[in-house]
Amino acid sequence: MLHKIIFKTVYLLNRPGLIGYFNKFQKTQWLDLQQLQAEQNRQLRKLVNFAYQSVPYYTKLFSQLNIRPSDIDAIKDLEKLPILTKKIIREHWEDLTPINIKEMNYLNSTTGGSTGVPCRYRMSHEDYKKGVALMYRGWTYAGYNLGDKVATIAGSSLIPTIGSSLKNKIQEFGLNIRNYSSYEMSDKNLFKYFCEINKWRPDFIRGYASSVYLFARFLKSHNLKLTVRPRAVFTTAEKLFAAQRALTEEVFDTKVFDTYGLNDGGVSAFECEKHNGMHIDAERAILETVDEKNKSITGQTGKILATDLYNYAMPFIRYDTEDLGIISDTPCSCGRKTFLLKEITGRITDYLNLNNIIIGSPVLTVLMGKFDIEQYQIIQNTPSSIVCKIIKGKGYNEARDEDLIRKSFYVHVGEIGIKFVYAEFIPVEGIRKYKFIINNVNTI
């Protein structure tokens, strides 16, 4: 009870309104689909009108297409609009800035994306709070209560940060979380995580799908058992394979609840207790899957598009997430009426194993996202060397940025061989997204 009070106080002071959104979303999860879509349509009309009037890119786009904001009246009308890509965002950054941006409260952020294409974006404070509230709502599907202990195995960047960790420690205490690095997963550190998690006894474990799996595999291979049985394990950021789910559930003796989400686009989906797929959140964004002609489809693999309904700081309308997935409109037996994201088919878990230290794909996308790189591909051919293929952006400086990338790797995995190759084009293999990590040495 005490930690629930502390948890809510932290958000009341730092993110006022977030707990209110959480309470509201606890109720809206049971609404009929028609009610949820009616509100989505209402917010879509508001967003499109704003984008047309206040965002030069959309003003020009609507003129070129010879359509008016009133032509986008409902979700089905989104097919009249083209897809927004990371390339368009990079090339039209100024035109995608609202004319009243100085009057807005927003956050600046960067994502590498699941295919390694760096993309910077803005996110309004309101949109951010809705996203966090939906995350906590999604965790409640597994029995989470605000303030419960959550141990997270993830990471933000390979680039060393300088400064006091006091603020982070205070936040961890207030939110009742403990964070463990996913890019230093040597046996020594994994044993350290095991000891600390055993002592702290978290209610839930959360992390990148591959990181949680690697931790579970380490425990099994060393015949180690946690003294606490987590109530659930949350996986995110990468495709969760059946074999990974099975081993994770075996080792932790609990169920895995898979999740999907990205702030650049505002979409999210969470697995419920029935494990029939992930419920697509309807309160913040519209998630579509489309065919090769960019027409909405269900029941088959399609490109996932996101339309964030509340991010007025940078409207994402039909944004290409660069993920592939399957939407099912068959209702879940849990009673929630939202569509299910049955599977992420285009999010492949890629990783490097350098000097016996694992580095997962989400960590690498954040690292490379720090530089002006249009695309990249990292190839590992030996246990202690990689090749970095890079398509340079205008602001990329070979001498400076190569040195920073080397130092970032050296800090976490020791000295390795790094060869840089610069290209104008990185070919795609097959019909899916190109693999931005190619590991020719190890397989999970």
For the residues 206-224, what does the mean pLDDT come to?
89
Please determine, for residue 115, whether its predicted confidence score (pLDDT) is greater than 60.
no
Per-residue pLDDT of 182-193, as tens digits, reads: 766 788 889 999
- CATH code, residues 351-439: 3.30.300
pLDDT at 427: 63
Please determine, for residue 435, whether its predicted confidence score (pLDDT) is greater than 80.
no
pLDDT at 156: 54
| Domains 1-350 and 351-439 fall in the same CATH topology | no
CATH 3.30.470.10 at 1-350, yes or no: no
pLDDT at 97: 97
Among 150-159, 172-181, 295-304, the least confident range? 150-159
Per-residue pLDDT of 359-396, as tens digits, reads: 866 577 668 878 888 778 899 999 999 999 998 888 89
Among 48-57, 153-162, 262-271, 398-407, the least confident range? 153-162
How does the average pLDDT of the chain come out, rounded?
88
pLDDT at 214: 83
- Map out the domains of the chain as residue ranges: 1-350, 351-439
Please determine, for residue 71, whether its predicted confidence score (pLDDT) is greater than 90.
yes
pLDDT confidence tier of residue 155, bands split at 50, 70 and 90: low
Share of the chain above pLDDT 70, in %: 90
Please state the pTM of the whole predicted model: 0.80
pLDDT at 443: 53
Per-residue pLDDT of 253-302, as tens digits, reads: 999 999 999 889 999 999 999 999 999 999 999 999 999 899 999 999 88
Share of the chain above pLDDT 90, in %: 62
pLDDT at 440: 86
Please determine, for residue 348, whether its predicted confidence score (pLDDT) is greater than 50.
no
Please determine, for residue 349, whether its predicted confidence score (pLDDT) is greater than 60.
no
HEC profile of the chain: CHHHHHHHHHHHHHCCCHHHHHHHHHHHCCCCHHHHHHHHHHHHHHHHHHHHHHCHHHHHHHHHHCCCHHHCCCHHHHHHCCCECHHHHHHCCCCCCCCCHHHCCEEEEEECCCCCCCEEEEEEHHHHHHHHHHHHHHHHCCCCCCCCCEEEEECCCCCCCCCCCHHHHHHHHHHCEEEEECCCCCHHHHHHHHHHHHHHCCCEEEEEHHHHHHHHHHHHHCCCCCCCCCCEEEEECCCCCHHHHHHHHHHHCCCEEEEEECCCCCCEEEECCCCCCEEECCCCEEEEEECCCCCECCCCCEEEEEEECCCCCCCCCCEEEEEEEEEECCCCCCCCCCCEEEEECCCCCCEEEECCEEEEHHHHHHHHCCCCEEEEEEEEEECCEEEEEEEECCCCCHHHHHHHHHHHHHHHHCCCEEEEEECCCCCCCCCCCCCCEEECCCCC
354 strand-pairing partners:
357
pLDDT confidence tier of residue 137, bands split at 50, 70 and 90: very high
Please determine, for residue 343, whether its predicted confidence score (pLDDT) is greater than 50.
yes
pLDDT at 346: 59
Integer Cα distance of 334 and 276 in angstroms: 9
pLDDT at 361: 64
- Amino acid letter for position 3: H
